[in-house]
Amino acid sequence: MTRIGFVFPGQGSQKVGMGKDLYDQYFEVRELFISANKVLGYDISSICFDGPDEILTQTANAQPAIFLVSAALLLLLKRSGIVPAMVAGHSLGEITAYYAAGVLSFEDALRVIQVRGAAMAASYPSDDSAMAAIMKVELKVIQRIVSSVKEGPVVAANLNCPGQIVISGKKAGVAEACELLSKEGGRAIVLNVSGAFHSPLMASGSQKLGDFLQDNFFSSAQIPVILNRTALSEIDATQLKENLSLQVISPVNWIGSIQYMAQHVDRLVECGPGKVLSGLCRKIVPELPMVSVSDLESIKGIENGPQ
């Protein structure tokens, strides 16, 4: 029997128009979007479908929108009998993984996303924050360089795939690290983000999120969730709750997470808008079959099982 791992994308995968074809085709997807509008208190559906892009890309909109489209695709995959044996999500996508594993309800997941985004945005001034993708430099070299910068903290925040590591921290420190890494043969791309995510600068946001989560009900996972922080599986409700607040100040070990999944599944399905994770996963475990499900066409193409 084929064991399938589902992976869910994070912020940056959004695109104006996403989910509209699903909404038009399936009644149950329309119900999901209507429910999201009620929970959030505004019309996230229109923002998904019509934008404009500068509104959709705002963290407060992009994150629930990506979750919503991912949840719609998950619903349709399950309806077709395609269910995961384990799940993982990249940063924000980890909350989608919690939902897929039965840890959080749809409504609670949306509320957690709202609070998480606000808490992270308020953690540290955005004009003194930066993140940059570093290409063609080994992780150990990046870790050595970022630990040496004068305007820290700067950390290796997203271990996306071999040859692509994102650093995060104070603006001046990230700029210094980029200059030093260029001398090591690397190429740096400064990212258009509003905070130093997955770094110690998110400490107050982590605390606020943790306080909020104490009053929220978490179920134990029905299937293993591979955590960003540890790159290991977890099903315990208490541990999953604690992880969610720690995740915002911890590196996303996507390389380790996918390597772990590759030991336990026969293929991967990216469930959500875009194909970012498919590209990363193919660089991490090129031998593992991978398919991206992001829209109506890909849903119809996978109804008989991922190819």
pLDDT tens column, 148-171: 999 999 999 999 999 999 999 999
What CATH number does domain 126-195 carry, 3.30.70.250, 3.40.50.150, 3.40.50.450, 3.40.630.40?
3.30.70.250
Those residues whose C-beta lies under 8 Å from the C-beta of residue 191, and which sit 6 or more positions away, are 130, 131, 132, 133, 166
Residue 305 has pLDDT above 60, yes or no: no
User: pLDDT confidence of 300, banded at 50, 70, 90?
Assistant: confident
Q: What is the pLDDT of residue 302?
A: 75
Q: Using one digit for the tens of pLDDT, what is the confidence trace for 111-152?
A: 999 999 999 999 999 999 999 999 999 999 999 999 999 999
pTM > 0.85: yes or no: yes
For the chain, give every residue range classified as CATH 3.40.366.10.
Answer: 4-122+201-301
What is the C-alpha to C-alpha distance for residues 111 and 205, in angstroms, rounded to an integer? 15
Residue 303 has pLDDT above 70, yes or no: no
Q: What is the pLDDT of residue 307?
A: 43
Q: Among all residues, which ones are annotated catalytic?
A: 91, 198
Q: What is the pLDDT of residue 143?
A: 97
4-122+201-301 is classed CATH 3.40.366.10: yes
Dihedral angle of Cα 115, 250, 215, 114, to the nearest 10 degrees: 10
User: pLDDT confidence of 47, banded at 50, 70, 90?
Assistant: very high
Residue 242 has pLDDT above 50, yes or no: yes
Q: Using one digit for the tens of pLDDT, what is the confidence trace for 212-223?
A: 999 878 999 999
Q: Using one digit for the tens of pLDDT, what is the confidence trace for 189-230?
A: 999 888 999 999 999 999 999 999 998 789 999 999 999 999
For the chain, give every residue range classified as CATH 3.30.70.250.
Answer: 126-195
Residue 197, phi then psi, degrees to nearest 5: -70, 150
Q: Using one digit for the tens of pLDDT, what is the confidence trace for 16-46?
A: 999 999 999 999 999 999 999 999 999 999 9
- 10 Å CB burial of residue 13 (0-12, 13-18, 19+) is buried
Residue 177 has pLDDT above 90, yes or no: yes
Q: Which carries the bigger pLDDT value, residue 304 or residue 103?
A: 103
Q: What is the largest CA-CA distance in the chain?
A: 56
Residue 131, phi then psi, degrees to nearest 5: -135, 145
